[in-house]
């Protein structure tokens, strides 16, 4: 009886343990389901709002540039020589043809004097041979008349013809010598003029690179001469700009050193070719109006012209 009772108790204990185990397992499954159903729902991001684009409007376009002139060059020597005098220095105003410096030309002067003497001798000989040829032709005419009358031999006639022809050839020879002397004089006069460095146009000397006694070679730069007027300004215009300047249109300028001072310029040149590197073309305007006498090439200016297309914010 005790054995049966013990068996029953053990059996009851096992059912209790089995029930508890099932309860735990069922509880775990319930938690997993809860976690699974608690996942947050994914939501699509709100679409970005497009930025409204305003219509383009014409706005002033301002670019930095400098005042310039059309003519500004370095005056170089046209022959070798030694500088014996300097007539102009930096800051000197000059007119076209003014002598800036002088090279040693004594050898050329001597050669020119000789060529002039040779020309005089040649011209005198031409005159002499012209007179001689005239006399020889007169003698030839007499020999023809005497020969026709039978008073002169054929040998006398041939001699007269020979002397007349000789006088003519001598005259032509001296004429050629005179022409050669004239050409030599012209050549020497050109070389003499090349020994003087002259201003190619009116303006001012802005640079001097030589001094008296200096040996120079052909092509050496000696002076820099610049015009002072009319002043110009060149600036670049983007090809993408909304407005293309035209000849005769006015553009506004202001000095960088004095922004309150405004100037006016007129477009005189527009480059028809666009630079592919900068996608722009150059425009040249010439200053106009009064009150520009104190302005000089190289001054920085702001150029304003209407026409840059932009987006208004």
Domain positions in the chain: 1-33, 59-70+228-311, 72-103+196-226, 105-194
CB 241 within 8 A of CB 197: no
Distance of CA 289 to the CA centre of its chain: 27
CB 118 within 8 A of CB 178: no
Q: Which fold has domain 72-103+196-226?
A: OB fold (Dihydrolipoamide Acetyltransferase, E2P) (2.40.50)
Residue 282 CA to residue 272 CA, distance in Å, equals 8
Give me 22's structure tokens.
């099932």
pLDDT of residue 46: 45
CA distances 239 to 214, 243, 275, 307, Å, are: 51, 9, 9, 11
Residue 207 CA to residue 156 CA, distance in Å, equals 77
Element (H, E) at 32: helix 2-37
Question: Which are the contacts of 257, defined by CB distance < 8 A and separation ≥ 6?
Answer: 299, 300
Residue 252 CA to residue 260 CA, distance in Å, equals 12
Residue 218 CA to residue 92 CA, distance in Å, equals 24
* pTM more than 0.85: no
The CATH number for 59-70+228-311, chosen from 3.40.190.10, 2.60.40.1250, 3.50.50.60, 2.40.30.170, is 2.40.30.170
The strand pair at 203-208 and 93-94 is best described as antiparallel
Give me 190's structure tokens.
């050109």
CB 157 within 8 A of CB 42: no
pLDDT of residue 111: 96
Per residue of the chain (313 residues), what is the pLDDT tens digit? 444 445 445 555 554 454 555 444 444 444 444 334 444 444 444 444 444 433 333 345 678 899 888 888 999 999 999 999 999 999 999 999 999 999 999 999 999 999 999 999 999 999 999 999 999 999 999 999 998 998 889 999 999 999 999 999 999 999 999 999 999 999 999 999 999 999 999 999 999 999 999 999 999 999 999 988 889 998 888 887 767 778 888 888 888 888 888 888 889 999 888 888 888 888 999 987 666 778 888 889 988 876 543 333 3
């Amino acid at each position: 009886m005790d054995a049966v009772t013990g068996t029953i108790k053990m059996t009851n204990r096992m059912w209790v343990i089995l029930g508890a185990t099932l309860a735990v397992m069922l509880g775990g499954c319930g938690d997993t389901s809860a976690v699974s159903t608690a996942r947050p729902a994914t939501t699509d991001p709100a679409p970005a709002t497009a930025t409204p684009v305003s219509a383009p409007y014409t706005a002033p376009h301002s670019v930095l540039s400098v005042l310039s002139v059309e003519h500004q060059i370095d005056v170089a020597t046209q022959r070798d020589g030694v500088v014996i005098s300097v007539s102009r220095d930096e800051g000197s105003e000059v007119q076209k043809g003014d002598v800036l410096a002088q090279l040693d030309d004594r050898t050329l002067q001597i050669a020119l004097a000789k060529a002039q003497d040779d020309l005089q001798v040649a011209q005198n000989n031409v005159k002499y041979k012209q007179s001689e040829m005239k006399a020889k032709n007169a003698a030839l005419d007499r020999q023809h008349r005497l020969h026709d009358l039978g008073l002169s031999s054929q040998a006398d006639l041939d001699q007269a013809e020979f002397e007349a022809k000789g006088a003519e050839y001598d005259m032509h020879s001296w004429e050629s010598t005179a022409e050669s002397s004239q050409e030599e004089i012209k050549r020497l006069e050109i070389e003499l003029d090349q020994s003087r460095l002259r201003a190619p146009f009116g303006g001012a000397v802005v640079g001097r690179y030589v001094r008296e006694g200096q040996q120079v070679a052909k092509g050496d730069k000696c002076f820099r001469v610049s015009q002072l007027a009319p002043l110009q300004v060149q600036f670049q215009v983007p090809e993408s700009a909304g407005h293309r300047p035209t000849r005769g249109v006015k553009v506004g300028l202001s000095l960088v050193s004095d922004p309150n001072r405004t100037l006016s310029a007129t477009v005189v040149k527009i480059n028809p070719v666009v630079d592919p590197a900068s996608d722009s073309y150059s425009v040249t305007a010439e200053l106009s109006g009064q009150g520009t006498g104190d302005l000089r090439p190289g001054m920085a200016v702001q150029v304003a012209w209407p026409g840059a297309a932009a987006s208004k914010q």
